Amino acid sequence: MKRFALFLGIGGLSTLIQFLLLILFVESRWLPEVAASVAGYVLSSFFNYWANYRYTFNSRSNHKETIPKYLVAVAIGLSTNTALFAAFLFVFDHYLPLPWVEHYVVAQFLATGITVVLNFCVHKFWIYRKH
């Protein structure tokens, strides 16, 4: 349970980074919403790898072993997050407008909530497992 709490804390910081980048990219009009979500996810994953390797899993595994696995995990998480984000965004844009809040932030919040459970399982049981 301690690892899950650390994972959530580090994931929370990574998510904060992702959300800040998402908002920065969208509000500055540098990127459209889905591309901004992807960019935020990818960029925040660098911090996430380092912090989980060092603190959550206290891994002694060689980076040559963990990084390729982590990149696959990022691809899985990114795919899940992007598909969910785009789906929620579509629903909010077309069927359930949210006039009181930026709909892309709500879409990201929902996508992140679902993706975090999948990410923990991939990290715990594959990337940083002890042999």
pLDDT digits (tens, 9 = 90+) for 51-104: 988 888 887 778 898 899 889 889 999 999 999 999 999 999 999 888 888 899
Q: Which two tokens stand for residue 84?
A: 């969910």
pLDDT digits (tens, 9 = 90+) for 25-60: 999 999 999 999 999 999 999 999 999 888 888 877
Cβ(22)–Cβ(41) below 8 Å: no
The length of the chain in residues reads 131
Q: Which domain holds residue 94?
A: 2-127
Number of domains in the chain: 1
Q: pTM of the full predicted structure?
A: 0.82
- Residue 44 CA from chain centroid, whole number: 7
